Structure 1
Amino acid sequence: MLIFATRPLSFISSFHFPLQQFCNNTVTSMDSSKPFSTTMAADHSSSRESHKVVVSNGEAAISLEEWRGWGTTSTVPSMVTQVVEDLNMLEKNVDAQMVFGGNHGKLSGDFKVQEDKKHRAKYQSLGDSEQKLQFFSARQIACRVLGSRGYLCQKCWLCSGDCMCSKLITCPLWNRMRFWLYMHPKDFLRQNNTGKLLWQVFGVHAASLCLYGITEHEDMMWDALKLAGKDKVWCLYPNKNAPTNSVKDSMAGLSFANVENHPEMADVAHSLNFILIDGTWSNSGAMFSRLKDRYKVMWGEEEIPCITLNTGASLMHKLRPQPSWDRTCTAAAAIGLLDELHDLPNFVSHGLDNQAKALEDAVEVLFEALTTRRLRMGRSITRKERHNHDIF
């Protein structure tokens, strides 16, 4: 989540969208020939939906097709592969099946007890904080992928029965612009995550997923940013320890006349790159510090350029408790950026208002899907009231 000065977004209250097939529910079938089986049980007397995924026969490997089905363009990260191999080996050495249950790909049962001991020992044996971060991230991601097989739709990250993909409408992003979703592993495959909407609407090359602590992802992002140059890189983050600029201050002087007249120049080197930190507010500080450190190594400067927005609480704020109303979701931050850019004379001709509207519609689709799911499960759809002194 990000925090910005408050300006409510104009979300439409109705939910009428033309049907358009966007993807299949999953690329993973529940056929008995597959190396895993899935059982799901919904307890309507409970406030949460339960499910169980059993991965057996030592065949839990993550294929490139499966990995990219979750919204990434990278190869399967080596550390994630290693974690999966370690899980397979442990299953062979202990008398317990690899079982995932509950939310977020959590291990359960006797296997969890054995794996917990092993992973704690390995974590303690790692030599430095960087190795520990990489292991933590890889283990989180590996378990979430394995524990979501046959349960979550790969495209929208909702359970298959709540899949919203047929209601989403795609829209091309202006080709001089690129989003980077710098996502914390604990937000990866979360059903209420809004960052995923950016690549669902704009495509995986216009809005690229970069997982925090995953070397292949971070190197991919920084290689692209280096090619673009530091004058075309911004982070949407309210850095309280350094001056931040508004969209107008940062972008009003840019000119695209040269590249617009030469279509062959439509590449990474001529794109504006915006990094969106996609994680809880408590995790965003560490993520931002990591961005600053890498920026300093690459360009020798202490501070990464930051932009603040005038956007406020989004529609999702009704379902997701936040410390205060002025903290908003990732998709709302992107919408705010597109809206504010469209208001500038040098950007007005690029259709950014329509692109903002397409993303705004996607947030409404997600909100409707999550609301329907909560009602089906007997859960409240009213945001918890807390920190009322921050709400005006």
Structure 2
Amino acid sequence: MGHTLGLLGIVQMKQFLHIGMDKNLVSTLLPTKPLFLCHCSVSFPFPMPFRRHCSNLRGHSSLSHTNMAQEEGVVSLQEWQGWGTTSPLPTMVAQIVGDLKGLEQDLDAHMSFGGNGGKLKGNFRIQEDKKHRATYQALADSEKKLQFYSARQIACRILGSRGYLCQKCWLPMEDCMCSEVTSCSLHPGIRFWLYMHPKDFLRQNNTGKILWQVFGVDAASLCLFGIAEHEEIMWNSLKVAGKSKVWCLYPNKSAVLKSVKNAFDQEPVTSDEVAPSELKVETIHHFILIDGTWSNSAAMFRRLQDKAKLVWGDEDLPCISLNPGASAMHKLRPQPSWDRTCTAAAAAGLLSEMQLLPQFRSIELDKQAEAIEHALTILLEALTKRRVRMGRSITRKVRQTNIR
């Protein structure tokens, strides 16, 4: 019952919140097409009816002066890791932050964010747009272009969120839900990887962040799409674990999907007396959850598949298919297909299905799933209260789409 309520809750949340689907983004990530085909102001993960300035930042105008940007503390390691990661500050993110601050000095103007979507505003936006387009065009290959695109999105979101969003829950300070979230230990034989699109980074209604709020950043690790340092950390762990211990939760129609039961049929019964320190790295199951809009997920999954083939050969990355949700979910908000749901609900569903198998019954995965569902309910309530307070509708208009 708890699991069902959690899934219904997040579907209701999606009713309340209009999530824009960037249909052009998947094509922009393909190496055969230019990345910026139209005006490319960065859209931030929060509505901002007022202008905010980032006047307390320091930096350097040259993209080549990475170390200077870091040494001057434009984005400190503590600030970076406060957003939900244990990684060092990515080099290109630091470069772009320094470049933005250098442009402030050159123009003698402050960065400001505001309006619908919280975009860069005014003359600074115009000049920054020209500069980043020129930088992008000068990059030699599609991989560098993707890395630049992702780093720029993330750098701007960090600068635009300072003093506005809580670093833990990514909600505005006045709506912070952290005190209501109950932490829980994830079974040490399981590790989640949140493979997140940069457009979902610091997004208020993102649900992937709930996993490290509940389980901690070591059990549920953030890996940002297109950020070289993050992807290297994740793949180093996956290589050590081996392909047989790596699964992707994604409805890949071009490959054979395994149910949770089929995936773990040969798994030995787990003892609940094994201490985390005694577990070997190769005994840990790694689950990759693609955290982005469905229109962006295809490019993200393709990148995972390409890397898996380089690491393990020609076979596809193993995918797990979860049981479809209750029909009531689709009445509340139609989904593209029965096997699609939000990131946190997918994680809860996985744990709930694993709990039904004999080898996992002793490790209380159902309670860990309930902890996710509880946090989802809190997120739904916080977002709903905010919309009511701001005079916005808490119901979503049904759009006529051809869902196949």
TM-score (norm 2): 0.81
Aligned to 1:249: 262
Q: In the alignment, which residue of structure 2 is the partner of 1:193? A: 206
How many Å separate the matches in 1 of 2:235 and 2:309? 12
1:218 aligns with 2:218: no
Q: Which amino acid aligns with 1:66?
A: E
Displacement of 1:97: 1.5
Deviation at 1:49, TM superposition (A): 4.7
Q: For residue 384 of structure 1, report the CA deviation from its aligned partner.
A: 2.5
* Residues 252/161 of structure 1: CA separation in 2 closer, same or farther (3 Å cut): same
In the TM superposition, residue 148 of structure 1 has moved relative to its aligned partner by 0.1
Q: 1:85 to 1:262 in 2, by over 3 A?
A: closer
Query: Which residue in 2 is equivalent to 1:56?
Result: 55
Residues 316 and 364 of structure 1, relative CA distance in 2, 3 Å threshold: farther
Structure 1, residues 12-34: CA drift from partner, whole Å, max 9, x if none? 999xxxxxxxxxxxxxxxxxxxx
Deviation at 1:316, TM superposition (A): 9.8
Return the alpha-carbon distance in structure 2 between the equivalents of residues 137 and 316 of structure 1: 33
Query: Is the 2:324–2:338 Cα contact (8 Å) retained in structure 1?
Result: no
Deviation at 1:270, TM superposition (A): 1.9
RMSD: 2.7
Note closer, same or farther for the CA distance 1:169–1:258 as it changes in structure 2 (3 Å cut): closer
Alignment of 1:14-53 (within 5 A): 49-53=48-52
SS in 2 for 1:67: helix
Distance 1:72 1:51, change over 3 A: farther
Match in the other structure for 2:121: 108
Contact 1:106 / 1:144 at 8 angstroms: preserved in 2? no
Please tell me the residue identity of whatever aligns with 2:376.
V
- Residues 1:154 and 1:128: Cα distance change in structure 2 (over 3 Å): same
Quote the Cα distance in structure 1 between the aligned partners of 2:134 and 2:270. 58
Instruction: Write the mapping of 1:1-392 to structure 2, written as runs, cut at 5 A.
Output: 9-11=4-6, 49-56=48-55, 58-59=57-58, 61-102=74-115, 106-255=119-268, 257=270, 261=274, 264-312=277-325, 323=336, 327-387=340-400
Q: Is the 8 A contact 1:179 1:276 kept in 2?
A: yes
**In the alignment, is the contact (CA less than 8 A) between 1:156 and 1:164 conserved in 2?**
yes
Q: Which has the higher helix share?
A: 2
**Structure 2 residue runs without a partner (length 5+):** 10-45, 60-73
Tell me the alpha carbon deviations over residues 107-138 of structure 1, each in whole angstroms, 9 at most, x when there is no partner. Answer: 11111110000001111111111000000000
Mean Cα deviation higher: 73-82 or 95-104: 95-104
The structure-2 alpha-carbon separation of the partners of 1:159 and 1:188, relative to structure 1 and needing over 3 Å to count, comes to same
Identity %: 62
| Partners of 1:308 and 1:220 in 2: CA distance | 26
Q: How far is 1:315 from its partner?
A: 10
What is the CA-CA distance between 1:265 and the residue it aligns to? Answer: 3.1
Q: Which amino acid aligns with 1:10?
A: L
Q: Which moved more, 1:215-224 or 1:97-106?
A: 97-106
Residue 195 (structure 1) shift? 0.2
CA contact (8 A) 2:47 2:117 kept: no
CA distance in 2, matches of 1:380, 1:109: 29
Distance 1:316 1:257, change over 3 A: closer
1:317 Cα deviation after fit = 8.5
Question: How big is the shift at 1:381?
Answer: 0.9
- The residue type paired with residue 312 of structure 1 is G
Change in 2 beyond 3 A, CA 1:74/1:335: same
Amino acid at match of 2:5: S
How far 1:10 moved relative to its partner? Answer: 3.0
Q: Which shifted more, 99-108 or 114-123?
A: 99-108
1:101–1:107 Cα contact (<8 Å) kept: yes
Task: Note the alpha carbon deviations across 1:42-83, whole angstroms, 9 max, x for none.
Answer: xxxxx9552433122552610000001000110100000000
SS of structure 1 residue aligned to 2:53: strand
CA deviations on 1:277-309 (whole Å, 9 max, x unpaired) are 000001000000000011111111330000010
Contact 1:314 1:329 in 2 (8 A): no
State the TM-score, normalizing by the size of structure 1.
0.83
- Residue ranges of structure 1 left out of the alignment (5+ in a row): 1-7, 15-46
Alignment size in residue pairs: 352
Distance in 2, Cα, partners of 1:383 & 1:211: 29
Report deviation, 1:312: 2.6
